[in-house]
Amino acid sequence: MNILGISAFYHDSAAALIRDGKIIAAAQEERFSRKKHDERFPFHAVRYCLHEGKIGPDDLDAVAFYDKPIQKFERLLQTYFATAPRGLKSFMMAMPIWIREKLWIPLEIENSLEQCGVKPERELYFPEHHESHAASAFYPSPYQTSAILTVDGVGEWATSTLGHGQGHDLKIISDLHFPHSLGLLYSAFTYFTGFKVNSGEYKLMGLAPYGEPRYVKQIYDHLISVREDGSFKLNMEYFNYMAGLTMTNDKFGELFGGPARKSETDIGQREMDLARSIQVVTEEIVLKMARHLHKITGEKNLCMAGGVALNCVANGRLLREGPFENVWIQPAAGDAGGALGAALTVWYHVKGNPRQANGVKDSMQGSYLGPNFDDEVEAFLKAKGYPAKKLAGGEWATTIAKVMAEENVVGLVQGRMEFGPRALGGRSIVGDPRSEKMQSVMNLKIKYRESFRPFAPSCCRDKVSEYFEHDRESPYMLLVAPVRKDLWTNLTDEQKRIMKDPDLCKRVNVARSTLPAITHVDYSARIQTVERDVNQKYYDLIKAFGDLTGVYCIINTSFNVRGEPIVCTPEDAYRCFMRTEMDYLVLGDFLLSKKDQPEWADKVDWRKDYVLD
Amino acid sequence: MNTWPWKALGPALPERKPMPMRVKATIQAVVMGLVGFAVYKIWGHLIGPAIVWSLALLVLIGGWLVPSIFHGFEKFGAKLAFWVASGLTWGLLVPFFYITFTFGRLVLVVRGLDPMDRAFPDAGRDTFWTPRPPVPSMDQYRKQH
Ligand SMILES: [Fe+2]
C-alpha cells in the first residue's frame, strides 16, 4: 500500500511517501523551488516522491494531509472573536489566503496528482497536526513502546501534547491549547531580540551561551505561570500574536527595558541575557513535561517532535538530566516532518497494520530520503564541460581528506539528500576542525555571514567519546554535549580580553579547544555521530581524515549561503560553489577544483536572490 | 539537457498558449462596444457610450496595428482590476469583521466566556493539561474538522 503524506501552507511544506509502512522518500519543497521555508503546496516534492516510488497512475492508495484545516480555521475565527475590534490587519491578511487556497486542500491535492500522472481518486485522510508530529516521532523510532512529547508553535488548537505509543497504537493523552504555547513564547523572544520568527530561533539558542540568565525571574513573575507537571499559561497582556502582526507588544518592551532590537543592528548584552533566560525557562519546562510524562506512562523511552524539539541544547539537557533512559527525536521535527507522520498515522493507526521496532535502529535511514544524483553527475559534467577528476574506490575518501587537511573548504554532494533542516553529509560543506582560521573563512567567504555560532562536528560514532562528554548516537545533530575538558586550551590574557569584546564574532573565533571551529563559547558542540552502515561514504571520509590527522571529526555545515535553501541538485551545488570561495566540490565520485573551472559570470547580483534569514 | 529525472516525470505542466493579441483586442473591443450599446439602450444618454466606443476603437486599432497602445490598455486594465478586487475585498471584509467579531466579542464578554482561556495566573488550577478524549472512530481521520 502506497501512502503519500503532505504538509503545507504554514512553513516548510513537504511530501513523504511510504510503502507498506517503509519510508520510501521524503523532501521539503524549498529544496526544489529554491525558496527558503517555502510554505506553498509542495508540488515538486510530491512529484519527486511519486517518481522515487515509481508510482504509476493506479499505484497510489491514499493521501494524508498533516492537519485538519477546518479546525485551524475555526481557531482563527475564535481568535478574532476573542480580540475584536483589534485584529483587523491580521484578519485582512489571513482571509484571502484561506478563501483562495487553504479551504480547498482536497482540490489542490487532486490537481497536483493529476499533473503528476496519478489518478486523483484516492482515499484522503486528515490526522490532527500534533498527532502527525507524534506519529513522525514514534513510528520511525527504534522503540516498540515509548512516551511521546510534541511541542511547537501551534497546530489546530494544541501547542503541546503528551502521548503514548505502543506497537502500532498511538494515543494522545492530553494537550495544552493555543494561545498558551512554548514554541510561540520562544518565537516571541526570537522576534524581540531582532531575529526572524520561524528561522531565527536557532540563532537565539546559539546566542544564549553569551548571556546570563538575568531575566528568568521576570519571565516567571510576569509572562508565564508554570505547574509542576510542565503545563503552563502565558500572560497574554504581554503578547501581540493573537490579534497583531508582531509577536510582542509595548508592555513586553517595558518589562525588558525598551523596544525590540531592530534586525541586523548590534546585539547587546540585553539580547544575550534574554536569549540565555528564555533558554533556561524552555529547558526547565521541557524537563518538567518530561518528568510528568515519565510518571504517567512509566516508559523508559521518549520520542519527540515539533519545532521545539529542534532545540538541541534543551535536548542534550533532557538526555543528561531527564527521567528517560533513551530519547529519540525526529530529524524533521518541524512541520515538514508532519508529512511523514500523517502518512505513518494512516498506515499504522488507521489501518491497524502491525509494527515491530528492533530496539536499536530507527527506520529513518539516516534521514537520507531525498533525491540522489550520483549516477547522473558524469553526464552533467560532460554536458557542461566542467573539468573534474573521478575518484575510484578508497581513493575517494583519502583524496578528499587530504585536501581538507590542507585547510581547503570542500562542498560535498553525495548520496540522497537529507530530509529535515540539517545537512548530514549528503549536502554539506566540510572542513578541518583543527584549523583556527576555518571558522572565519567559512563564515565570511563561503556562507557570507558573520556568525556568533560555531560550526557543528561530524564524528565517527566509535570515536565520539574521545572528543565529547557523550557516548551515544546523535545521528541527526539534535543533541548538544560538552567538548572533553582535556581538549580545552588555556586562554592567554589577550584571549581573555577578547572574550569580553562586544563583537561576538571575535569572541567565537578565540580558540578554546584543540577543535576551535566546532567549540562554542561555553565549550559545547552540536554533535553528529556517523555510522558506516548508515552513510558509508561519509563515514569513510571522516575516518580517512582521522587516519591522516589523528582527529576523527570534521566540520559539517549546510551547503548553502545565507538565506538560500540547502542545495539539492549538482547544478545548485555547482552554482553555489562558483559563487563562493569554496576550494573544492565533490559531486558523487567526482572532485572538482576551483582552480580548474571555467570563469563564472553572474549576470545578476545573486545575493538579492535570497531573503536574509 | 534534462539531467534530473524527477523534473521529467509525468506530463509537463500544461502550458497555456497566450491568446494572440489581435484576437484578444477584437474580443475586448466587441465586449466594450456591447457594454456601450447596453448603456445607451437603458439610459438613452450618448456621451458615456461614445467614450466607451472610442476606447473600444482604440483597443481594436492598438491590437491590430499599434501594439504599444494595446499593451498600455492591458496594463491599465490589470491595475484597474487589482484595485477593484482590493476595494471589493476591503469593502466586504471590513464591515464583516467589525459587525461579526465585535458583536461576537460582546456576547462572549456579557456571558463571561473566553475561548482563549486567558485568565492569569489562574492560581486555582493544579494543571493546565487538557485530557484528550479518544478519537470516536477511524472515520474521523477522513474529515477535515
Ligand atoms: Fe507543528
Which domains can be identified in chain A, with CATH numbers?
2-140+341-363 (3.30.420.40), 182-326 (3.30.420.40), 368-609 (3.90.870.20)
CA-derived radius of gyration, chain A: 23
End-to-end, the C-alpha distance of chain B in Å comes to: 46
Which of these ranges, A152-156, A382-386, A415-419, B15-19, has the smallest mean pLDDT? B15-19
Contacts 24+ apart (CB under 8 A), A435-440: A435/A407, A435/A516, A435/A517, A436/A509, A436/A511, A436/A516, A436/A517, A437/A407, A438/A407, A438/A409, A438/A516, A438/A517, A438/A555, A439/A508, A439/A509, A439/A516, A439/A517, A440/A505, A440/A509
Whether the per-residue pLDDT at B3 is higher than 80: the answer is no
Where does the pLDDT of residue B15 fall: very low under 50, low under 70, confident under 90, or very high at 90 and above? low
Dist. CA A173–CA B131, nearest whole Å: 6
For B4, which of A116, A346, A376 is closest by C-beta distance? A376
φ, ψ (nearest 5 deg) of residue B49: -60, -35
Where does the pLDDT of residue A607 fall: very low under 50, low under 70, confident under 90, or very high at 90 and above? low
Dist. CA A66–CA A34, nearest whole Å: 22
Contact criterion met (CB < 8 Å) for A84 and B105: yes
Closest CA to A562 of A429, A471, A457: A429
Where does the pLDDT of residue B2 fall: very low under 50, low under 70, confident under 90, or very high at 90 and above? very low
Where does the pLDDT of residue A36 fall: very low under 50, low under 70, confident under 90, or very high at 90 and above? very high
Kindly report the nearest CA distance between residue B76 and chain A, in angstroms. Answer: 23
Q: List the single best residue of A123, A181, A233 to mutate versus B (max B Cβ within 10 A).
A: A233
Handedness of CA A504, A509, A510, A511 (dihedral sign): positive
Kindly report the nearest CA distance between residue B33 and chain A, in angstroms. Answer: 33
Please give the pLDDT value at position A525.
95
Residue ranges of E strands in A277-426: 301-305, 326-329, 368-372, 389-390, 410-413, 416-418
- Tell me the chain B residues in contact with residue A174 when contact means C-beta distances shorter than 8 Å: 129-132
Whether the per-residue pLDDT at A463 is higher than 90: the answer is yes
- According to DSSP, the β-strands at B130-131 and A524-530 are unpaired
β-partners of residue A125 are A64
Say if B117 is an interface residue toward chain A (CB within 8 Å): yes
Contact criterion met (CB < 8 Å) for A231 and B127: yes
- Report how far apart, in Å, the C-alpha atoms of A522 and of each of A37, A339, B95 are: 30, 36, 55
Where does the pLDDT of residue A510 fall: very low under 50, low under 70, confident under 90, or very high at 90 and above? confident
Q: List the single best residue of A67, A70, A81 to mutate versus B (max B Cβ within 10 A).
A: A81
Q: Is the peptide bond before B14 cis (omega within 30 degrees of 0)?
A: no
Question: ipTM of this model?
Answer: 0.91
Contact criterion met (CB < 8 Å) for A571 and B3: yes
Whether the per-residue pLDDT at A611 is higher than 90: the answer is no
Dist. CA A477–CA A426, nearest whole Å: 14
Where does the pLDDT of residue B7 fall: very low under 50, low under 70, confident under 90, or very high at 90 and above? low
* pLDDT tens per residue across span A117-134: 888 778 999 999 999 999
Residue ranges of E strands in A254-357: 301-305, 326-329
Neighbours of A71 (CB within 10 A): 19
Closest CA to B55 of B43, B40, B79, B72: B72
Where does the pLDDT of residue A515 fall: very low under 50, low under 70, confident under 90, or very high at 90 and above? very high
Place of cell 494561545: A179
| CB distance A365 to A142 below 8 Å | no
What is the DSSP code (8-state) at residue A355? -
**Alpha carbon of A129 to ligand 1 centroid (Å):** 6
- Tell me the chain A residues in contact with residue B126 when contact means C-beta distances shorter than 8 Å: 227
Kindly report the nearest CA distance between residue B125 and chain A, in angstroms. Answer: 9
Whether the per-residue pLDDT at B1 is higher than 50: the answer is no
Interior/surface letters A173-212, b for 16+ CB within 10 angstroms, e for the rest: bbbbbbbbbbbbbbbbbbbbbbbbbbbbbbbbbbbbbbbe
Contact criterion met (CB < 8 Å) for B129 and A371: no
For A225, which of B13, B121, B130 is closest by C-beta distance? B121
Contact criterion met (CB < 8 Å) for B116 and A237: no
Contact criterion met (CB < 8 Å) for B6 and A95: no
Q: Which three cell numbers stand for residue A444?
A: 565570511
Please give the pLDDT value at position A447.
79
**Alpha carbon of A245 to ligand 1 centroid (Å):** 19
Say if B105 is an interface residue toward chain A (CB within 8 Å): yes
SS3 A527: strand
Please give the pLDDT value at position A389.
96
**Alpha carbon of A92 to ligand 1 centroid (Å):** 23
- Tell me the chain B residues in contact with residue A92 when contact means C-beta distances shorter than 8 Å: 89-90, 93-94, 97
**Alpha carbon of B134 to ligand 1 centroid (Å):** 21
Handedness of CA A292, A297, A302, A307 (dihedral sign): negative
φ, ψ (nearest 5 deg) of residue A599: -60, 140
Kindly report the nearest CA distance between residue A376 and chain B, in angstroms. Answer: 7
Q: How many residues does chain A have?
A: 613
End-to-end, the C-alpha distance of chain A in Å comes to: 39
- Report how far apart, in Å, the C-alpha atoms of B86 and of each of A244, A371, B101 are: 21, 42, 21
- Tell me the chain B residues in contact with residue A119 when contact means C-beta distances shorter than 8 Å: none
- Report how far apart, in Å, the C-alpha atoms of A459 and of each of A144, A465, A466, A536, A544 are: 28, 10, 10, 13, 12
* Stronger pLDDT, B5 or B1, i.e. the higher one: B5
For B144, which of A48, A126, A350 is closest by C-beta distance? A126
Neighbours of A536 (CB within 10 A): 13
Chain-centroid distance, C-alpha A302: 19
Please give the pLDDT value at position A115.
83
Place of cell 560555531: A454
Which of these ranges, A290-304, A403-417, B12-26, has the smallest mean pLDDT? B12-26
CA-derived radius of gyration, chain B: 29
Contact criterion met (CB < 8 Å) for A85 and B102: yes
Contact criterion met (CB < 8 Å) for B141 and A350: yes
Neighbours of B126 (CB within 10 A): 9
What is the DSSP code (8-state) at residue A273? H
Say if B2 is an interface residue toward chain A (CB within 8 Å): no
- Tell me the chain B residues in contact with residue A117 when contact means C-beta distances shorter than 8 Å: 9-11
* pLDDT tens per residue across span A561-583: 888 999 999 999 999 999 998 99
* pLDDT tens per residue across span A330-354: 999 999 999 999 999 999 999 999 9
Interior/surface letters B85-124, b for 16+ CB within 10 angstroms, e for the rest: eeeeeeeebeeebeeebeebbeebeeeeeebbbbebeeee
Please give the pLDDT value at position B16.
63
| CB distance A517 to A489 below 8 Å | no
What is the average per-residue pLDDT within A489-511? Answer: 87
| CB distance A12 to A336 below 8 Å | yes
For A177, which of B125, B130, B138 is closest by C-beta distance? B130
Question: Maximum CA pair distance of chain B?
Answer: 80
β-partners of residue A158 are A177
Dist. CA B88–CA B90, nearest whole Å: 5
Where does the pLDDT of residue A505 fall: very low under 50, low under 70, confident under 90, or very high at 90 and above? confident
- Report how far apart, in Å, the C-alpha atoms of A172 and of each of A371, A529, B86 are: 33, 31, 43
Whether the per-residue pLDDT at B124 is higher than 70: the answer is yes
What is the average per-residue pLDDT within A420-424? Answer: 96
Q: Which residues contact A292 (CB under 8 A, 6 or more apart)?
A: A162, A228, A229, A230, A231
What is the average per-residue pLDDT within A455-459? Answer: 95
φ, ψ (nearest 5 deg) of residue A125: -125, 150
| CB distance A224 to A235 below 8 Å | yes
Residue ranges of E strands in A134-223: 145-151, 158-166, 169-177
* Stronger pLDDT, A101 or A21, i.e. the higher one: A21
The pTM assigned to this predicted structure is 0.91
Question: What is the rounded average pLDDT for all residues in chain A?
Answer: 93
Q: Is the peptide bond before A57 cis (omega within 30 degrees of 0)?
A: no
What is the average per-residue pLDDT within A99-111? Answer: 90
In chain A, whose CA is at the least distance from the CA of B107? Answer: A81
Closest CA to A83 of A199, A303, A244: A244
| CB distance A286 to A186 below 8 Å | no
Kindly report the nearest CA distance between residue B114 and chain A, in angstroms. Answer: 7
Closest CA to B60 of B35, B36, B31, B26: B26
Question: What is the rounded average pLDDT for all residues in chain B?
Answer: 87
Kindly report the nearest CA distance between residue B29 and chain A, in angstroms. Answer: 31
| CB distance A582 to A409 below 8 Å | yes
What is the average per-residue pLDDT within A79-93? Answer: 94
With the CA atoms of B134, B139, B143 and B145 taken in that order, what torsion angle do they form, in degrees rounded to the nearest 10? -20
In chain B, whose CA is at the least distance from the CA of A78? Answer: B115
Place of cell 496595428: B65
Return the amino acid letter for B83.
Answer: W
What is the average per-residue pLDDT within A385-395? Answer: 92
Looking at chain A, the number of H-run helices and the number of E-run strands are 20, 23
Q: List the single best residue of B1, B2, B4, B86 to mutate versus A (max A Cβ within 10 A).
A: B4
What is the average per-residue pLDDT within A439-451? Answer: 80
Closest CA to A428 of A400, A449, A406: A400
Dist. CA A267–CA A248, nearest whole Å: 18
